[in-house]
Chains A and B, each alone.
Chain A
Amino acid sequence: MNTFATGSGWWLPLAVLGSSLVPALVIMLLSEQRQRTRTALNLSAALIKLSLVAYMTWSVARGNSYELRFGMLPGVDFVLRADAMAMLFAGLSAVLWLFTTIYAIGYLEGSPNRSRFFGFFSLCVASTMGIALAGNLVTFLVFYELLTLSTYPLVVHRGTPKALKAGRTYLRYTIGGGAVLLTGVALLSMIAGDVSFADTGALVNLIAQDSALLRVAFWLLIAGLGVKAALVPLHGWLPVAMVAPAPVSALLHAVAVVKAGAFGIVRVVYNVYGVETAQLLGLLFPLAVLASTTIVWGSMRALFQTEIKKRLAYSTVSQVSYIALGIALFGPWGTIGGLAHLLHQGLMKITLFFCAGNYAETLGIHDIDELDGAGRRMPATSVAFTIGAFGMIGVPPLAGFVSKWYLGLGALEAGMPWVLGVLVLSSLLNAAYFLPIVHRLWFRPQAGPWPDERSFGKHETSRWLLMPAVATAVFTVGAGVLANLPYSPLRWAMLVSVRVYTQ
Chain B
Amino acid sequence: MSAQSLLPWMLMVPLSWATLMVLLAQQRDAITRVVNVVGALVLVGLSVALYAGVAQEGLAVHALGGWSAPLGIALRADGLAATLVVLTAVVSSACGLYAMTSERAARTNGKSAPRYFWPLFWLLITALNGIWLAGDLFNLYVGLELLGLSAVGLVALGGSEASLSSALRYLMAALLGSLAYLLGVALMYAAYGTLALPELAELITREPMTQLAIALMTVGLCLKTALFPLHGWLPPAHGVALTPVSAMLSALVVKGSFYILFRLWFEVAPDVVTPLAAQGLGILGAGAVLWGGWQALRESSLKMLVAHSTVAQLGYLFIFFPLAVGTGATAAALATQGMLLHVVAHALAKSAMFLASGTLIASVGRGGVADLAGVGRHMPMSLFAFGLAGVSLMGLPPSGGFNAKWLLLQSALASGQWFWLLVLLGGGLLTAGYVFRVFRESFLESPDDAGQFTKTPRAYDLFALTLAAMSVALGLASRAPLRFMTNGLAVMAGVQ
Tell me the A residues contacting B by CB distance below 8 Å. Answer: 28, 70-76, 78, 112-113, 115-116, 138, 141-142, 145-146, 148-149, 152-153, 156, 158-161, 164, 167-168, 171, 175-176, 178-179, 182-183, 186-187, 189-190
- B478 cross-chain contacts in A, Cβ below 8 A: 72-74
- B341 cross-chain contacts in A, Cβ below 8 A: 73
B13 is an interface residue with CB less than 8 A from chain A: no
- A159 cross-chain contacts in B, Cβ below 8 A: 376, 443-445
For B376, B397, B425, B440, the residue with the greatest tally of chain A CB atoms inside 10 Å of its CB is B397
Of the listed stretches B180-188, B261-269, B401-409, chain A binds B401-409
- B414 cross-chain contacts in A, Cβ below 8 A: 190
Asked if residues B482 and A73 are in contact (CB atoms below 8 Å), the reply is yes
For B334, B396, B409, the residue with the greatest tally of chain A CB atoms inside 10 Å of its CB is B396
Asked if residues B413 and A74 are in contact (CB atoms below 8 Å), the reply is no
- A164 cross-chain contacts in B, Cβ below 8 A: 440, 443-444
- A74 cross-chain contacts in B, Cβ below 8 A: 334, 337, 407, 478-479, 482-483
A142 vs B478: C-alpha distance when bound (angstroms)? 14
Q: List 9 A-B contacts (CB under 8 A).
A: A71-B479, A113-B377, A115-B380, A146-B398, A153-B443, A175-B429, A183-B421, A183-B425, A186-B410
- B442 nearest in chain A by CB position: A159
Asked if residues B436 and A171 are in contact (CB atoms below 8 Å), the reply is yes
Contact of B443 among A72, A156, A176, A179 (CB under 8 A): A156
A141 vs B407: C-alpha distance when bound (angstroms)? 15
B391 is an interface residue with CB less than 8 A from chain A: yes
Asked if residues A168 and B440 are in contact (CB atoms below 8 Å), the reply is yes
- B384 cross-chain contacts in A, Cβ below 8 A: 28
| Known contacts A73-B407, A142-B397, A189-B410; A161/B429 CB under 8 A | no
A70 vs B480: C-alpha distance when bound (angstroms)? 11
Task: For residue B432, give the distance in angstroms from its CB to the closest CB of chain A.
Answer: 5
Asked if residues A72 and B413 are in contact (CB atoms below 8 Å), the reply is no
Asked if residues B410 and A190 are in contact (CB atoms below 8 Å), the reply is yes
- A32 nearest in chain B by CB position: B377
A160 vs B407: C-alpha distance when bound (angstroms)? 39
Asked if residues B403 and A73 are in contact (CB atoms below 8 Å), the reply is yes
A146 vs B406: C-alpha distance when bound (angstroms)? 16
Chain B: residues with Cβ within 8 Å of the partner, total of 40
Main SS of chain A's interface residues? helix
Asked if residues A78 and B380 are in contact (CB atoms below 8 Å), the reply is no
Task: For residue A72, give the distance in angstroms from its CB to the closest CB of chain B.
Answer: 6
B476 is an interface residue with CB less than 8 A from chain A: yes
- B405 nearest in chain A by CB position: A182
A145 vs B387: C-alpha distance when bound (angstroms)? 14
Asked if residues B398 and A112 are in contact (CB atoms below 8 Å), the reply is no
A125 vs B406: C-alpha distance when bound (angstroms)? 26
Asked if residues B425 and A182 are in contact (CB atoms below 8 Å), the reply is yes
Task: For residue B99, give the distance in angstroms from its CB to the closest CB of chain A.
Answer: 25
- A71 cross-chain contacts in B, Cβ below 8 A: 477, 479-480
Contact of B429 among A28, A70, A176 (CB under 8 A): A176
Asked if residues A72 and B376 are in contact (CB atoms below 8 Å), the reply is no
For A70, A74, A152, A187, the residue with the greatest tally of chain B CB atoms inside 10 Å of its CB is A74
- A160 cross-chain contacts in B, Cβ below 8 A: 445
Contact of B397 among A141, A175, A190 (CB under 8 A): A141
9 interchain residue pairs of minimum CB distance: A159-B445, A142-B397, A71-B479, A73-B478, A190-B413, A73-B403, A186-B409, A145-B396, A175-B432
Asked if residues A28 and B398 are in contact (CB atoms below 8 Å), the reply is no
| Known contacts A113-B376, A186-B410; A178/B444 CB under 8 A | no
A175 vs B439: C-alpha distance when bound (angstroms)? 15
- B445 cross-chain contacts in A, Cβ below 8 A: 112, 158-160
A168 vs B475: C-alpha distance when bound (angstroms)? 26
- B413 cross-chain contacts in A, Cβ below 8 A: 186-187, 190
| Known contacts A71-B479, A149-B396; A112/B444 CB under 8 A | no
Asked if residues B444 and A182 are in contact (CB atoms below 8 Å), the reply is no
A241 vs B337: C-alpha distance when bound (angstroms)? 39
A448 vs B479: C-alpha distance when bound (angstroms)? 67
- A186 nearest in chain B by CB position: B409
Asked if residues A28 and B380 are in contact (CB atoms below 8 Å), the reply is yes
A142 vs B476: C-alpha distance when bound (angstroms)? 10
A115 vs B363: C-alpha distance when bound (angstroms)? 20
Task: For residue B11, give the distance in angstroms from its CB to the closest CB of chain A.
Answer: 33
- A73 cross-chain contacts in B, Cβ below 8 A: 337, 341, 403, 406-407, 478-479, 482
B130 is an interface residue with CB less than 8 A from chain A: no
- B429 cross-chain contacts in A, Cβ below 8 A: 175-176, 179
For A160, A161, A179, the residue with the greatest tally of chain B CB atoms inside 10 Å of its CB is A179
Asked if residues B476 and A78 are in contact (CB atoms below 8 Å), the reply is yes
Asked if residues A142 and B425 are in contact (CB atoms below 8 Å), the reply is no
- A167 cross-chain contacts in B, Cβ below 8 A: 440, 443
B244 is an interface residue with CB less than 8 A from chain A: no
* Contact residues, B464-496 vs A (CB, 8 A): 475-480, 482-483
Asked if residues B432 and A72 are in contact (CB atoms below 8 Å), the reply is no
A168 vs B443: C-alpha distance when bound (angstroms)? 12
B428 is an interface residue with CB less than 8 A from chain A: yes
A145 vs B440: C-alpha distance when bound (angstroms)? 19
- B440 cross-chain contacts in A, Cβ below 8 A: 156, 164, 167-168
- B428 cross-chain contacts in A, Cβ below 8 A: 179
A149 vs B413: C-alpha distance when bound (angstroms)? 27
A156 vs B445: C-alpha distance when bound (angstroms)? 10
A178 vs B432: C-alpha distance when bound (angstroms)? 11
- A116 cross-chain contacts in B, Cβ below 8 A: 376, 380
Asked if residues B377 and A112 are in contact (CB atoms below 8 Å), the reply is yes
A153 vs B341: C-alpha distance when bound (angstroms)? 29
Task: For residue A228, give the distance in angstroms from its CB to the closest CB of chain B.
Answer: 15
* Contact residues, B254-299 vs A (CB, 8 A): none
- B408 nearest in chain A by CB position: A186
Asked if residues B479 and A142 are in contact (CB atoms below 8 Å), the reply is no
- A182 cross-chain contacts in B, Cβ below 8 A: 406, 409, 425
- B480 cross-chain contacts in A, Cβ below 8 A: 71
For B391, B444, B482, the residue with the greatest tally of chain A CB atoms inside 10 Å of its CB is B444
